[in-house]
Structure 1
């Protein structure tokens, strides 16, 4: 093998490692983002809604009825 071929292969190997490291880092970051910014707030909001419904069941029932009425009106078949 010539020096140029060895040098080219070395550069390709280094570039491949760099791309693999960057891809792994992005995948890890995406997983952490999903866990922190998507899953946790959804759990928090659901928990807050449950707590509010336990504290004020009448208000929660009126809200549920109102939302159901609006959704039913918007998807009415006629």
Structure 2
């Protein structure tokens, strides 16, 4: 068996380092995807609802009242 130098990284250390780099990259990619696929469409929908409420305030108020009644009814113990 060849003698291992204590200063050179072992295969286990190299594997841990590689796994750490891959996990870090995957985490960054997941954060980017979450921002793109969740945050941006939610902002778009919210801006559309806001614009509709500005154009039709009476209809938006009726929807808000109706949804409030339904949610309150379902949350009542």
TM-score by length of 1: 0.75
Distance change >3 Å, CA 12–CA 70, structure 1 → 2: same
Q: Distance in 2 between matches of 1:54 and 1:5?
A: 73
Q: Distance in 1 between matches of 2:26 and 2:39?
A: 19
1:27 equivalenced with 2:27 (yes/no): yes
Q: Which structure has the highest helix share of the two?
A: 1
User: How many pairs does the alignment contain?
Assistant: 74
Counterpart of 2:49? 49
Unaligned runs of 5+ in 1: none
Residue 38 of structure 1: how far off its partner (Å): 1.8
Moved over 4 A (4+): none
Match of 2:18, SS state, is helix
Q: CA RMSD in A?
A: 2.0
Unaligned runs of 5+ in 2: none
